[in-house]
């Protein structure tokens, strides 16, 4: 299979290193100081697609994802307040409670979006000892140095800095802010360990006094512990390319002399209404908010699948409405095949399977693979087509095997019709009509519950 490598800026043939059939893959996980928004989740849908394609290609996947529960400052470099500490202060809780609460919700979103949980999920605060050792190693090798407020990485010592983003040391020098701080040798050096002021809640003893790790060192230390000095694939969103991932490479080169990953693979951003997603604009939607507006998590997953992971994806509610219609059409076409006794010629099935494999093996061309599925479902009703669609769904992860024909239940037609009307009203944000229909159904003795695949009707 071919995979685009940000490092070489081209599609390369992918094979696991060491000639084994196990792919070792590290994915930068969330900073658990807030609800994950749909942009964050797009990046994890991409991670999941990559894991699923690798498995479909016959590889085992050993995936590691971190949970950042300390050290990610409000600025991706090393300025500002620790995001966890800031939320804890605002919510009058401690950072451990904040981390626990948002990690649980993040994992719930994974479940609702059918995102497979990587084999190892590790939280930064469980690896402080390993991080300290890493920092000590960098100091010993001459890359790390102490200042009044922490241990910094001396970027001028790593001549190849900037390989991923193309931001060379000269660019950094030209763009560096003149800082009042701070004993740093170069304005663009970054913190690998921060000394903690007394009031900082999360802090640990270290050879440099009480402190806490820098965000970048967390990923370097945890990936090395679980996957070794060099592993196959490192993933993240494109925003990580110029700082976080450059710094991870710099740290690994400083400690082990090696770039930690053979392939660096990045998912592009989700925009909202053509612009940046930001809290101040009120457009950072969560999965719960989408459900409230009548879109199931599967519709959101389907929406993501329709754009290639290296293209920006513009989120709009019109786009979601389109995805919903298209997803429902997909489900209806699939059901047509479900209980058919008819077989399909093997050569026809092979043709579709071949096209599907070509698409997913071409740098995860999932939108095109979905096209193959849609075309295939237009074939005359056949059990074989149904089975092959479920096989493709090992990659899509749309839970196609769970799709039921609502009409085959013992719920009367007119009740189903009212429930469908209610769903359409919700999709159009016509809340008054939707509420009236829900009440009417209630009076008739039926309860309509929204589920991840749409809705469920039951007798009260």
Stretch that binds Zn ion, among 5-13, 27-35, 151-159, 163-171 (CB under 5 A): 27-35
Alpha-carbon distance of 17 to 153, in angstroms, equals 29
Binding site partner of 366, from ligand AMP, Zn ion, none, Cβ cut-off 5-8 A by kind: none
Q: Least distance (Å) from Zn ion to the CB of residue 27?
A: 8
Q: How far is the CB of 126 from ligand AMP (least distance, A)?
A: 18
- Match 């399977």 to its residue by tokens: 353
What SS3 class is residue 237?
Answer: strand
Contacting range for Zn ion; rule: CB under 5 A; set: 212-220, 272-280, 382-390, 415-423: 212-220
- In the list 1, 54, 196, 219, the residue contacting Zn ion (rule: CB under 5 A) is 219
Choosing among ligand AMP, Zn ion, none, which partner's interface includes residue 43 (Cβ < 5 to 8 Å by kind)?
ligand AMP
Tokens 């400690």, located at residue: 255
Residue 298 neighbours by CB distance under 10 Å: 25
CA neighbor of 54 nearest in space, from 9, 14, 99: 14
Dihedral sign, Cα of residue 213, residue 215, residue 216, residue 220: positive
As measured in angstroms, the least distance from the Cβ of 442 to ligand AMP is 39
Nearest to 239 by CA among 281, 270, 269: 269
Q: Which is nearer to Zn ion, 28 or 255 (CB)?
A: 28
Q: By C-beta, is 164 or 270 nearer to ligand AMP? A: 270
Q: How far is the CB of 236 from ligand AMP (least distance, A)?
A: 4
Interface with Zn ion by CB under 5 A: which range of 20-28, 73-81, 282-290, 393-401? 20-28
Task: Convert residues 272-301 into a mask of x (bound to ligand AMP by CB under 6 A) and - (unbound).
Answer: -----x------------------------
Long-range pairs for 39-43 at CB < 8 Å and ≥24 separation?
39/237, 39/269, 39/270, 39/272, 39/277, 39/284, 39/315, 40/237, 41/109, 41/113, 41/115, 41/287, 41/300, 42/267, 42/269, 42/270, 42/304, 42/313, 43/236, 43/237, 43/267
Give dist(CA 433, CA 417) in Å, integer.
Answer: 14
- Least CB distance from residue 237 to ligand AMP, whole Å? 2
Residues 219-258 that bind ligand AMP (CB under 6 A): 236-237, 239-240
Q: Of 56, 101, 208, 269, which one interacts with ligand AMP (CB under 6 A)?
A: 269
Contact (CB, 8 A) for 350 and 385: no
Shorter beta-carbon distance to ligand AMP: residue 363 or 453: 363
Selection from ligand AMP, Zn ion, none that 338 binds (CB < 5 to 8 A by kind) is none
Cite the DSSP H helix spans in 362-412. 366-377, 383-396
Answer with the entry of ligand AMP, Zn ion, none that 42 interacts with (C-beta below 5 to 8 A by kind).
Answer: ligand AMP
Nearest distance, CB of residue 122 and Zn ion, angstroms = 11
Residue 112 to residue 99: CA distance in whole angstroms: 20
- Give 156-162's long-range contacts (Cβ < 8 A, gap of 24+): 156/185, 156/186, 157/254, 158/250, 158/253, 158/254, 160/253, 161/246, 161/250, 162/246
Q: Least distance in Å: CB of 221 to Zn ion?
A: 11
Residue in the shown chain whose Cβ atom is closest to ligand AMP = 237
- Over the window 27 to 56, marking each residue x when it contacts ligand AMP by CB under 6 A and - when it does not, the resulting string is -x-xx-------xx-xx-------------
5 near ligand AMP, judged by CB under 6 A: no
User: 171 with 162: CB under 8 angstroms?
Assistant: yes
Q: Which is nearer to Zn ion, 261 or 369 (CB)?
A: 261
Residue 221 CA to residue 214 CA, distance in Å, equals 11
101: Cα within 13 Å, side-chain hemisphere: 13
Smallest distance, ligand AMP to C-beta of residue 410, A: 43
Please say whether the beta carbons of 18 and 378 come within 8 A.
no
Asked if residues 369 and 308 have their Cβ atoms less than 8 Å apart, the reply is no
Name which of 185 and 308 has its Cβ closer to ligand AMP.
308
226 binds, among Zn ion, ligand AMP, none (CB under 5 to 8 A by kind): none
Residue 22 or 283: the one with the smaller Cβ distance to ligand AMP is: 283
365: how many CB neighbours lie within 10 A of its CB?
A: 18
Is 28 a binder of Zn ion (CB under 5 A)?
A: yes
Q: Which of 201, 196, 208 is nearest to 151 (CA)?
A: 208
CB of 212 to ligand AMP, least distance (A): 17
Q: Which is nearer to Zn ion, 124 or 425 (CB)?
A: 124
- Joined together, the tokens standing for residue 394 give 């090992």
The residues binding Zn ion (CB under 5 A) are 28, 219
The residues binding ligand AMP (CB under 6 A) are 28, 30-31, 39-40, 42-43, 236-237, 239-240, 269-270, 277
């Amino acid at each position: 299979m071919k995979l685009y490598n940000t490092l070489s800026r081209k599609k390369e043939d992918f094979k696991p290193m060491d000639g084994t059939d196990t792919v070792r893959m590290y994915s930068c996980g969330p900073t658990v100081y807030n609800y994950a928004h749909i942009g964050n989740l797009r990046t994890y849908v991409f991670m999941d697609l990559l894991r699923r394609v690798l498995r479909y290609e016959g590889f085992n996947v050993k995936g590691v994802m971190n949970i950042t529960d300390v050290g990610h400052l409000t600025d991706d470099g090393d300025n500002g307040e620790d995001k966890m500490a800031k939320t804890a202060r605002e919510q009058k809780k401690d950072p451990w409670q904040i981390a626990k609460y948002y990690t649980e919700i993040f994992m719930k979103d994974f479940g609702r979006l059918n995102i497979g949980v990587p084999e190892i999920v590790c939280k930064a605060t469980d690896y402080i000892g390993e991080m300290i050792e890493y920092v000590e190693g960098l100091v010993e090798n001459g890359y790390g140095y102490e200042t009044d407020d922490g241990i910094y990485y001396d970027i001028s010592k790593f001549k190849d800095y900037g390989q991923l983003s193309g931001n060379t040391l000269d660019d950094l020098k030209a763009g560096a802010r003149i800082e009042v701080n701070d004993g740093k040798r170069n304005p663009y050096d970054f913190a690998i360990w921060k000394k903690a002021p007394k009031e900082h809640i999360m802090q640990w003893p270290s050879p440099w006094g009480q402190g806490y790790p820098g965000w970048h060192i967390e990923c370097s230390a945890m990936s090395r512990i679980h996957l070794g000095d060099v592993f196959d694939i490192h993933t993240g969103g494109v925003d990580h390319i110029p700082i976080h991932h450059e710094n991870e490479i710099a740290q690994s080169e400083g400690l082990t002399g090696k770039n930690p990953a053979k392939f660096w693979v990045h998912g592009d951003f989700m925009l909202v209404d053509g612009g940046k997603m930001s809290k101040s604009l009120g457009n950072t939607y969560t999965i719960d908010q989408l459900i409230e507006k009548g879109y199931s998590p599967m519709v959101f997953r389907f929406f993501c699948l329709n754009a290639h992971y290296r293209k920006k994806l513009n989120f709009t509610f019109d786009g979601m409405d389109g995805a919903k219609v298209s997803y429902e059409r997909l489900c209806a076409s699939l059901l047509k095949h479900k209980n058919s006794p008819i077989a399909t010629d093997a050569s026809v099935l092979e043709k579709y399977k071949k096209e599907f494999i070509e698409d997913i093996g071409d740098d995860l061309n999932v939108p095109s693979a979905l096209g193959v599925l849609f075309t295939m479902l237009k074939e005359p009703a056949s059990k074989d087509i149904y089975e092959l669609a479920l096989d493709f769904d090992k990659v899509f992860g749309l839970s196609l095997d769970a799709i039921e024909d609502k009409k085959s239940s013992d719920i009367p037609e007119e009740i189903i019709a009212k429930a469908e009307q209610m769903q359409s009203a919700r999709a159009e944000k016509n809340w008054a009509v939707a509420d009236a229909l829900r009440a009417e159904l209630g009076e008739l003795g039926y309860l309509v519950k929204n589920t991840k695949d749409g809705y469920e009707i039951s007798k009260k």
